[in-house]
């Protein structure tokens, strides 16, 4: 492993004014997104949609540091035969790859999941590196509910995340370590804070045990936020203040950067929260976005599967990417939302 090179890639992924496009929806998830805009989820439509994003020259070259791809996409070519990975590289962004293989029920822990995909991961990483991937992603899912999460679910998921991260670094690939505490329940922000603290502490403990080099990774956490069904929704300022406090308590300064998931927040909420955190300032790591839904909901709607809407889809994507890029520097405000570039 060459740690200096891993660190260089990790820092590039969290360049101020840029962030990561999570375009790694599995076939099941992208079908759900396409169903919502009445587009059939065929291999060609998935390719056309993602090609539209990667050919958004302004967004990709100015605001996007890296793109997380799904296995199908990393092997696909654009309509003119150019590998999609090449389009990303030509824009100046770094190609990345989701390497987990989804979740399975965790034995003895009703309602809880463990992320799978460690078998043969070393061989798969080698092929992804040859194709151009310089970073990877693995997502653990922790749900909050009555009696959950158990310490068992937190432990096994942290263990798998650390196993994955160590294998990535051995393959000269920067691991994005993503322990996601879901915001689906009716829990309040304090409960989210407490659970996320347990999850992050366990994750960093496992990363240490398995000798993962913190300078060569990026953390992708959820924010401390109220559950979607909670009657009392925390303000933007409270989310920002609590998330920063939580991260300071749990994330070593050796980690180069933190790139948040959006997790079901509205587009503008995700931007406002990131912006408010960066306004607080004085943090040991860079804070940016690694959004899926909060970057893609608008372009998906604008595109709606029609070739004649490609320019509109690209405009919508560029706008959201620019808003989040401003937020990554604490320079966003609602007035910017109305200014169309
Ligand atoms: P969302 O921003 O839609 O949560 O997706 C980010 C991601 O990569 C989840 O694994």
pLDDT in tens, 152-205: 999 999 999 999 999 999 999 999 999 999 999 999 999 999 999 999 999 999
Integer CA distances (angstroms), 248 to 201, 217, 245, 308, in order: 11, 17, 5, 47
Q: Is the pLDDT of residue 341 over 80?
A: no
Active site residue 86: no
Q: What is the pLDDT of residue 154?
A: 99
Ligand 1 proximity of 179 Cβ (cutoff 6 Å): no
Distance 265 CA to ligand 1 centre (A): 10
Q: Is the pLDDT of residue 340 over 70?
A: no
Q: Atom of ligand 1 at shortest distance to CA of 262?
A: 2
Q: What is the pLDDT of residue 339?
A: 75
- Long-range contacts for 240-244 (Cβ within 8 Å, ≥24 apart)? 240/273, 240/276, 240/277, 240/279, 240/280, 241/280, 242/189, 242/193, 243/273, 243/277, 244/277, 244/280, 244/283
Closest CA to 288 of 255, 328, 329: 328
Q: Atom of ligand 1 at shortest distance to CA of 22?
A: 8
What's the mean pLDDT in 61-78?
98
Which of 260, 261, 298 maximizes ligand 1 atoms within 8 Å of its Cβ, making it the mutation to test the pocket?
261
Q: Is the pLDDT of residue 66 over 80?
A: yes
Distance 23 CA to ligand 1 centre (A): 9
What digits encode the pLDDT tens for the residues 282-307?
999 999 999 999 999 999 999 999 99
Indicate which residue's Cα is closest to atom 4 of ligand 1.
263
What's the mean pLDDT in 107-120?
98
What's the mean pLDDT in 116-129?
98
Ligand 1 proximity of 292 Cβ (cutoff 6 Å): yes
What's the mean pLDDT in 306-319?
98
- Domain spans, the chain: 3-338
Q: What is the pLDDT of residue 125?
A: 99
Which of 139, 176, 291 maximizes ligand 1 atoms within 8 Å of its Cβ, making it the mutation to test the pocket?
291
Q: Is the pLDDT of residue 62 over 90?
A: yes
Coil, strand or helix: which one is 304?
Answer: coil
CATH architecture of 3-338: Alpha-Beta Barrel (3.20)
Indicate which residue's Cα is closest to atom 9 of ligand 1.
261
Active site residue 178: yes
- Is this prediction's pTM over 0.75? yes
Distance 53 CA to ligand 1 centre (A): 16
Integer CA distances (angstroms), 136 to 109, 195, 283, 286, in order: 28, 25, 25, 19
Q: What is the pLDDT of residue 338?
A: 87
Which of 178, 202, 206, 242 is labelled catalytic?
A: 178
What digits encode the pLDDT tens for the residues 140-149?
999 999 999 9
Mean pLDDT of the chain: 98
Distance 101 CA to ligand 1 centre (A): 15
Which of 21, 157, 292, 324 maximizes ligand 1 atoms within 8 Å of its Cβ, making it the mutation to test the pocket?
292
Which of 18, 137, 202, 220 is labelled catalytic?
A: 220
Coil, strand or helix: which one is 68?
Answer: strand
Q: What is the pLDDT of residue 293?
A: 98
Q: How confident is the model at residue 11 (pLDDT cuts 50, 70, 90)?
A: very high
What digits encode the pLDDT tens for the residues 233-284?
999 999 999 999 999 999 999 999 999 999 999 999 999 999 999 999 999 9
Q: Atom of ligand 1 at shortest distance to CA of 270?
A: 2
What's the mean pLDDT in 132-140?
99
Percent of the chain at pLDDT above 90?
Answer: 99
């Amino acid at each position: 492993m060459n740690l200096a090179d891993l660190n260089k890639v990790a820092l590039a992924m969290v360049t101020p004014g840029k962030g990561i496009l999570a375009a790694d929806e599995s076939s099941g998830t992208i079908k759900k997104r396409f169903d919502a805009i009445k587009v059939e989820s065929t291999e060609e439509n998935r390719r056309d949609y993602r090609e539209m994003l990667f050919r958004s020259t302004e967004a990709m070259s100015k605001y996007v540091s890296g793109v997380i791809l799904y296995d199908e996409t990393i092997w696909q070519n654009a309509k003119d035969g150019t590998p999609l990975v090449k389009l990303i590289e030509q824009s100046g962004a770094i190609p990345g790859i989701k390497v987990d293989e989804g979740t399975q029920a965790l034995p003895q822990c009703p309602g809880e999941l463990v992320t799978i995909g460690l078998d043969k991961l070393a061989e798969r990483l080698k092929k992804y590196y040859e194709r151009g991937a310089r970073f990877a992603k693995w997502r653990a899912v922790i749900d909050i509910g009555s009696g959950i999460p158990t310490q068992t679910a937190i432990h096994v998921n942290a263990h798998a995340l650390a196993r994955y991260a160590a294998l990535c670094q051995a393959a000269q690939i920067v691991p994005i370590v993503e322990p996601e505490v879901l915001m689906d329940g009716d829990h309040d922000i304090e409960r989210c804070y407490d659970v996320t603290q347990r999850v992050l502490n366990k994750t960093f403990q496992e990363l240490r045990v398995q000798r993962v080099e913190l300078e060569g990774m990026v953390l992708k956490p959820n924010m401390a936020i109220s559950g979607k069904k909670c009657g009392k929704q925390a303000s933007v300022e409270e989310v920002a203040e609590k998330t920063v406090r939580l991260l300071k308590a749990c994330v070593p300064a050796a980690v180069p950067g933190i790139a948040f998931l959006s997790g079901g927040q509205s587009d503008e909420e995700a931007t406002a929260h990131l912006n408010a955190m960066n306004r607080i300032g004085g943090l040991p790591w860079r804070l940016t976005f690694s959004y899926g839904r909060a970057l893609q909901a608008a372009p998906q709607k604008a595109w709606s599967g029609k070739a004649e809407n490609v320019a509109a889809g690209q405009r919508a994507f560029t706008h959201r990417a620019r808003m989040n890029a401003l937020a990554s520097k604490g320079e966003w405000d609602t007035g910017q939302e109305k200014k169309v570039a």
